[in-house]
Amino acid sequence: MEPTAAAENTPALEAVFQPVDPPTTFEETVERLGTAIRLGLLIPGTQLPPERDLADQLRISRSTLRQALTTLVQSGHLVSLRGRAGGTFVTEEPPLGQAVRGEVLGEEARAVLDYRVAVETGAVVLAAERAHDEDVRRLVEFTDRMDAAERFDDYRRADIRFHIGIAEASYSPRLVTAMTEVQGQMSDLIARIAHPREVLNSSNEQHRRLIALVRRRDTSRAVKLMRDHMDGTEHILAALLPEPPG
């Protein structure tokens, strides 16, 4: 790769490097940089600022930035080069380098994500009120399976069972049916993106925190965390979801 000079500073590019807001700093950083590549604000061969400087600009920890950069390297958006001329560069042919028509997430994806908000938040409210010890033990088992999974398909199966397990812990058969439907629709979206391990680890850490809140029957914090969890998924989808054909 023949690296180019640093990207020309423009108002649009300045927005890319504005501070990232918690609580989804990792996922939002992935989306911010992935979207900049998608829109051509960071063109192929562009070198990103040094890690320390970029972390300071985004006001995130270097460890969070490193996770986000690793995710984008694994998904084919960035490449990391060593040596005197090393650094982190936009790949010559990034998977989302084409121009975007309309919204990053189209109407169909938006409808699925909105439906998910309604189902998942409703399920976690009732789960925090009604879950039994056995329900909690099953949820822990699913997170253990996700940690141990070596293939994404195995991770995703346990992930689906975790979310359906939340609905089962609500003791609402209709919510279980709705959760099964929405997880199927989410799988159709998720299957279209890369699955870097950093993303999966971050997601499963939220699963474990959610279990602790359900066990404590802390409904308000459980709902807040579930919403953060879904927002994180949206950031990742917005960064990595290919543009539909047509």
3-state secondary structure of 80: strand
What residues contact residue 105 under an 8 Å CB cut-off, 6+ apart? Answer: 113, 234, 237, 238, 241
Nearest 5°: phi and psi at 48? -75, 160
Report d(CA 16, CA 176) in Å as an integer: 39
Fold agreement (11-90, 107-240): no
For the four alpha carbons of 78, 81, 87 and 93, in that order, the dihedral sign comes to: negative
pLDDT of residue 99: 37
Where in the chain does DSSP place strands (E)?
78-81, 87-90
Report d(CA 96, CA 77) in Å as an integer: 8
The CATH architecture one would assign to domain 11-90 is Orthogonal Bundle (1.10)
CB atoms within 10 A of CB 11: 6
Closest CA to 33 of 233, 198, 239, 241: 239
Place domain 107-240 in its CATH homologous superfamily.
GntR ligand-binding domain-like (1.20.120.530)
pLDDT of residue 101: 35
Q: What is the pLDDT along the chain (246 residues), one digit of tens a residue?
A: 555 555 666 666 777 778 887 767 888 888 888 878 876 778 888 999 989 999 999 888 999 899 899 989 988 889 998 877 788 999 988 865 433 333 556 788 889 999 999 999 999 999 999 999 999 999 999 999 999 999 999 999 999 999 999 999 999 999 999 999 999 999 888 988 888 898 999 999 999 999 999 999 999 999 999 999 999 999 888 888 766 544
| Pair of tokens at residue 163 | 């979310």
Report d(CA 174, CA 80) in Å as an integer: 48
pLDDT of residue 89: 92
pLDDT of residue 40: 74
Report d(CA 221, CA 195) in Å as an integer: 27
pLDDT of residue 243: 61
| Pair of tokens at residue 168 | 């089962």
Report d(CA 73, CA 51) in Å as an integer: 14
pTM of the model: 0.75
Distance of CA 13 to the CA centre of its chain: 22
CB atoms within 10 A of CB 219: 16
* Diameter of the chain measured on Cα atoms: 61
Report d(CA 62, CA 54) in Å as an integer: 9
Contact by Cβ (8 Å): 91, 77: yes
| Pair of tokens at residue 223 | 């709902």
Domain ranges of the chain: 11-90, 107-240
Closest CA to 217 of 170, 172, 174, 175: 170
